[in-house]
Structure 1
Amino acid sequence: MRRAEGPHLGSPPQAGERKEAFGVYVHWPFCLSKCPYCDFNSHVRHTAIDEDRFARAFAREIETTAARVPGRDVSSIFLGGGTPSLMQPRTVGAILDAIGKHWRIADGAEVTLEANPTSVEATRFAGYRAAGVNRVSLGVQALDDVSLKELGRLHTAREALDAVKIARRAFPRYSFDLIYARPGQTPEMWADELKLAIAQAAEHLSLYQLTIEAGTPFFALHAAGKLKTPDEATARALYDVTQEVCAAHGLAAYEISNHAREGAQCRHNLVYWRANEYAGIGPGAHGRLDIGGLRHATATEKRPETWLMRVEAGGHGVVTDDLLNSEERADEFLLMGLRLAEGIDPKRYEALSGRPLDPHRIAVLREEGAIVVDESGRLRVTQAGFPVLDAVVADLAA
């Protein structure tokens, strides 16, 4: 994967190769600290991580997974976490080489690595670029120091902006995340922060409304009344500001929380939202694999050291491998696809589920202004419908 002249990148398609988008997600589970709002599978270790051992385990699980789904043409790779930028570039290179050894990497494949501003350093970014990474996604989260401290982040706003500059120099494509609807945040404050962010963003922003997830420190603080988030009306106003400011600056929403200039969408995330096939590699990774005409929903062991031992003993860390029936596949397609501004093709839903969407329910939701059906027949959620997306999906799936 690291060298264009290498033996695996650009090799001829294998027999039975599939032409649909196929992604590989690799989960690096370690962080410097655990953010109080985060419910992802991330772990803090106060001793050195044996990266070589983990790299060998990643390669082994990739090999085992590729044996189940051979002949795939990888269109995107996403190194997520956790904090993948804590890995040495040689570890990233070893993982990418393993993917390229067992599947064909498509020409122009998108290879994204998530990074924290606290772990950003110019020589490491250059090493990631040399390893084959061509897109970085930075976890900036806020552009003021008070909010960053409240969110448990270890970087300052200045450090975050410096990281964006490094990313701009090192990679052809980059993005960064911000969290809004934070305690005490007003629409005016958010509009100013968002304009500052857009001035630094070349092509893509991920903008997430703060949610209080069960099992996190924020959940306990919120339940005790010690953490106050914006009320429903303010949260809706913050959402509306997000859409208006981004659209005015050429970063339209292509998904409910993601904004990009035309052609700059994150291709890996589109694999998920379009219900395509992807492999999940590493502790706590999820996958969707098509084997023998059936869709498998896979998940691996979450605990890093337990996952490691499972892979070393048996070649993989998969602990869940469920077959999705037609109704489950169709519901997942609906749930994911309606997050996208492009919407869904109802005929694909019918092909998956064996039944069409209820025309009466469609008519009611159209009348309410929650959805539209365009001239090509695609069904899309409107800007008015996105804030109540869960209800729209539940109504259509009923």
Structure 2
Amino acid sequence: MSAVATEPPADPGFGVYVHWPFCKAKCPYCDFNSHVRHAPPDQARFVAAFRAEIAHMRARNGQRRTQSVFFGGGTPSLMEPATVGAILDAIHGAWPIDARAEITLEANPTSVEATRFAGYRAAGVNRVSLGVQALDDASLKSLGRMHTADEALAAVAVARAAFERVSFDLIYARPDQTPEAWRAELLRAIAEGGDHLSLYQLTIEDGTPFAALHRAGKLKTPDGELARALWDATQETTAGAGLPAYEISNHARPGQESRHNLLYWRYGEYAGVGPGAHGRLDTPEGRFATSTERGPEDWAGLVERAGHGTVSDERLTRSEQGDEYLLMGLRLNEGIDHHRFARLAGRDLDPARIAALVQEGMVEQLPGGRLRVTPTGFPVLDAIVADLAA
């Protein structure tokens, strides 16, 4: 992680997350709410459901100005540009979208989906996030991806011509991957136009095909020593190329950070709409954690009957808000604000716990009451969060 921390804004802002749950195929490592359908979904039906759910959320939290919109999935690049435009119109009607707002759409880097990029740009999207995942064909095949490395890089070039800002994802700690090969892959990614990279260690998620293969001994992941060497290679290579980590898995040139994801990590407010979407809404009664029905057709039917697809709507206690702020904010290089934690949680962090972690080199205190995790601490971030939250 970078040695320099930025000063976050006092107000993290408001954003909207839109979940499009459909995919052409289910990747064997993926546990996201994604669904494969043999027949194309009725996009007009889903647009109508999105409009209704957005109106419902607007009635709950009142007037806001939207600083960011994120179309995630699933595969949002399977949407027609007109569908994206209609959803953005509905959001703007509920919570006016700021003229400088970041509007991101996740896309698969295939030639077919790249043909829609100009349409998405015309609809209002100004940033695209491409699920490249690897830059060698053997790894892409093992990850269940439907594109080649050359096709992915061609899509990156098309995206850079269409959008102001482009990001792409890569997965590392893949079977048999060496730190040397990973460094070379990273340098190639950066050379091909990476201003923002999301770099995720491969994790084995319960219920996925990779989990079954792993249990059967047919999928080998790096041991702790190799995983750490790959982590170190990631930090050194990106920082050396001018894309330091601003969050545990995200790297960017200065000014190219994902503003929508910063809103999450800074514990801002966001509405989550669509099947399986999560949100954090601030209402006169307090902050609520919302989630919607995961099944796409079930969600649409519920919205048609009730005006929304919400299945969980829980008011968060002050303690829960403090814990969430810790969990999200300590992922960031900028860290958290002691004073904001106290306002949210109704208690201070334990000075003795902080002192012990400082002594161990796991966290550091910054001027103005900020606390952040050190480069030494980031590989054991979960344990640090648990210690401070106890």
TM above 0.5, yes or no, is yes
1:41 is aligned to: 33
Q: CA deviation at 1:251?
A: 0.2
* 1:47 maps to amino acid: A
Give 1:301's match in structure 2, choosing from 290, 293, 305.
293
Alignment map for 1:155-234 (pairs within 5 Å): 155-234=147-226
1:128 is aligned to: 120
Deviations 1:75-125 (A, max 9, x none): 000000000000010000000011011111112000000000126545411
In 2: Cα distance, 1:89 partner to 1:219 partner: 35
Q: CA deviation at 1:259?
A: 0.3
Judge conservation of contact 1:372–1:379 (CA < 8 Å) in 2.
Answer: yes
Judge conservation of contact 1:362–1:396 (CA < 8 Å) in 2.
Answer: yes
In 2: Cα distance, 1:115 partner to 1:314 partner: 31
Give 1:287's match in structure 2, choosing from 256, 279, 283.
279
* 1:206 maps to amino acid: S
1:15 is aligned to: none
In 1: Cα distance, 2:325 partner to 2:343 partner: 11
* 1:149 maps to amino acid: K
2:246 is aligned to: 254
Moved over 3 A (4+): 119-123
In 1: Cα distance, 2:193 partner to 2:230 partner: 20
Judge conservation of contact 1:75–1:105 (CA < 8 Å) in 2.
Answer: yes
CA-atom RMSD, angstroms? 1.1
Give 1:237's match in structure 2, choosing from 210, 229, 232.
229
Judge conservation of contact 2:280–2:289 (CA < 8 Å) in 1.
Answer: yes
Judge conservation of contact 2:132–2:152 (CA < 8 Å) in 1.
Answer: yes
Instruction: Say yes or no: does 1:75 pair with 2:74.
Output: no
* 2:56 maps to amino acid: T
Unaligned runs of 5+ in 2: 1-9
Give 1:374's match in structure 2, choosing from 366, 370, 386.
366
Give 2:305's match in structure 1, choosing from 304, 309, 313.
313
In 2: Cα distance, 1:372 partner to 1:294 partner: 32
Give 1:383's match in structure 2, choosing from 362, 375, 378.
375
Judge conservation of contact 2:49–2:304 (CA < 8 Å) in 1.
Answer: yes
2:56 is aligned to: 64
Question: Secondary structure, in 3 states, of the residue corresponding to 2:129?
Answer: strand
Question: Secondary structure, in 3 states, of the residue corresponding to 1:322?
Answer: strand
2:268 is aligned to: 276
Judge conservation of contact 2:168–2:194 (CA < 8 Å) in 1.
Answer: no
In 2: Cα distance, 1:23 partner to 1:121 partner: 25
Q: CA deviation at 1:203?
A: 1.5
Q: CA deviation at 1:48?
A: 1.9
Q: CA deviation at 1:336?
A: 0.2
Q: CA deviation at 1:19?
A: 6.5
Judge conservation of contact 2:78–2:113 (CA < 8 Å) in 1.
Answer: no
In 2: Cα distance, 1:184 partner to 1:202 partner: 25
Question: Secondary structure, in 3 states, of the residue corresponding to 1:360?
Answer: helix
- Cα–Cα, structure 1 residues 120 and 338, in superposed 2: closer, same or farther, change >3 Å? farther
* 2:55 maps to amino acid: E
In 1: Cα distance, 2:227 partner to 2:66 partner: 38
* 1:278 maps to amino acid: Y
The number of residue pairs the alignment matches comes to 381
Deviates more, 1:306-315 or 1:200-209: 200-209
In 2: Cα distance, 1:314 partner to 1:119 partner: 39
Judge conservation of contact 1:19–1:73 (CA < 8 Å) in 2.
Answer: no
Question: Secondary structure, in 3 states, of the residue corresponding to 2:159?
Answer: helix
Question: Secondary structure, in 3 states, of the residue corresponding to 2:200?
Answer: strand
Judge conservation of contact 2:12–2:267 (CA < 8 Å) in 1.
Answer: no
* 1:105 maps to amino acid: I
Judge conservation of contact 1:308–1:317 (CA < 8 Å) in 2.
Answer: yes
